[in-house]
Amino acid sequence: MHRDYYSSVEWEKIIAFSKTKETPFLVVILDKIRQKFWEFRTGFPQAKIYYAVKANPDFAVLSLLRDLGSYFDIASIYELNDVLELGVSPERLSFGNTIKKARHVHEAYKKGVRLFASDSEADIRNLAKEAPGSRVFFRILMDAITSDADWPLSRKFGCQPRMVTDLVLLATELGLEPYGLSFHVGSQQREISAWDAAIAQAKYLIESLEKKQIHLKAMNMGGGFPADYLVKSNPLSVYAEEINRYLDFHFGNVIPEIYLEPGRGLVGEAGVLVSEIVLISKKSKPDLNRWVYTDVGIFNGLMETLGESIKYPAYTDKTGETGDVILAGPTCDSMDIMYEHFKYQLPLSLQIGDRIYWLSTGAYTASYSAIEFNGFPPLKTYCL
C-alpha cells in the first residue's frame, strides 16, 4: 500500500529512520514538499504562492519554502514571529485570518505586514486604525460551495457579496487599499468545479465594483487543493489545467493577479505518522470487531479524523488475511476514536507492539496536536 504513496527510496528512508525512534512521531520528507511546490509553480506560473503556515509550521518546512521563494499566509502574530525569526521579509506575508485583535493588527503592522484579509466592518475599522494604508483582500462567503469538501469551512469565514461591496467602499473611505477578493472553496476539496463557481462569483463582484470605480487588482483563490488519502484525488496538474481554463473562460485576457494559499495540498503527502499498537481487545468473546488502540489519536495528531472526515491510509507490515477493526487513540477520552463506522481492514495477525504507519499525514497533524492532554506530549516532527 505504501507504494501507492511513496517511492521505494522514500519509504526505505522513512523506515530506516523510524527504527531508531520511540513512537509516536511524524516524519516529513522535505523533497516531497520541494516537488509539490514545483508542481504548484508549474501548474500556476502566473500565481503568487502563499503557503498556509498552519498546515505544518515546522521550522524545517518553513525554511525550505522560504528558500524556494514561497510567500506565507499567517493566521496569528505567533506564526508571524516564527516566519520573521526565519528571516522571511514581511513583504512576503499575508495576514489571512479575518479574526484578529486590534493590538495584534498593530503588532503585525509594526513588524512590516501590509497585506490583510477581512470580512467585517469592525475588522476593517481596526485595520484602518492600526494598519493604515494597508492592502486588503475581502473574503467572500462560500458556504454553499465548501459544504461538499471533506473538511468544510462552514459559514465562519467570508461575507455575502453585498456586504463585500459595502466593506470595499468603507475601506476606500478609510484610506485602506482594497486590493482583491479572496475565497476558499473548502479544505480537501476534491470537486474541481467548486473553483469554477467561486471564480464566477468573484468575477461578477469584481465587475460590479468596476462600475463603482473600484479596481481590484487581485483574486486570492485560497487553498483547498486535496492530498491523496484513502480516496485518491486527481493530480495537481489536472486541477491546475481545469482552474486555468475557468480563469480564461471567466476573465478572458484580463485575468487579475492570482494568489494561492495551499496548505494541505503542498505538505499533506510529505508526512508519515508512525505509531505503535498499545492494545488490541474485544468487547465480548464472540465480538467480531477488534478494537485496535494506537499511541496516536485525535488529541496527539489525528484531529482531522473527527467525524471520520479525513481517512488516512493506515499501513502495517504484517500480512495475511484481514478483518474489520475499530481504530482508537490512547487517551481516557471516549471521543478519542478515529474510525468506528467506516471499517478499516487490518491483518488478523496484528499484535500489540506492531507499528501502524499513517500515510499522507504531513498537514494538520502536528500543528493540531494537543499540548499535554492526559499528559501525552505533543507530536514530535522529524524532517528528512
Ligand X SMILES: *Cc1c(COP(=O)(O)O)cnc(C)c1O
Report the nearest approach of ligand X to the CB of residue 227 (Å).
Answer: 9
The crossing angle, in degrees rounded to 10, of helices 77-85 and 102-110 is 20
Minimum CB distance to ligand X, residue 184 (Å): 5
| 178 versus 330: smaller Cβ distance to ligand X | 178
Cα–Cα distances (Å) from 347 to 165, 328, 384, in that order, read 57, 16, 29
Handedness of CA 233, 237, 240, 241 (dihedral sign): negative
**Shortest Å distance, C-beta 260 to ligand X:** 8
Q: Rg of the chain's alpha carbons, rounded to an integer?
A: 22
- What phi and psi, each to the nearest 5 degrees, are found at residue 206? -60, -40
CA distance linking residue 302 with residue 222, whole number of Å: 23
Between 36 and 250, CB nearer to ligand X: 36
Closest separation between CB of residue 222 and ligand X, Å? 4
Q: Shortest distance, CB of residue 339 to ligand X, whole angstroms? A: 21
Q: Using an 8 Å Cβ cutoff, are 53 and 96 in contact?
A: no
Closest to ligand X by CB, 109 or 239: 239
What are residue 71's DSSP bridge partners? 50
How far apart, in whole angstroms, are the C-alpha atoms of residue 183 and residue 186?
Answer: 9
In the complex with ligand X, which residue's Cβ is closer, 223 or 297? 223
Which cell numbers hold the place of 126? 481596526
CB of 188 to ligand X, least distance (A): 6
**Which phi and psi (to 5°) does residue 26 adopt?**
-110, 130
- The nearer residue to ligand X, 261 or 354, going by C-beta atoms, is 261
- Rounded CA-CA distance 303/186 in Å is 17
Strand partners, 117: 137
Nearer to ligand X, 126 or 187 (CB): 187
CB of 129 to ligand X, least distance (A): 23
CB-nearer residue toward ligand X: 52 or 327? 52
Which residues in this chain contact ligand X in the complex, by CB under 6 A?
A: 52, 54-55, 73, 96, 184, 187, 222-225, 261-265
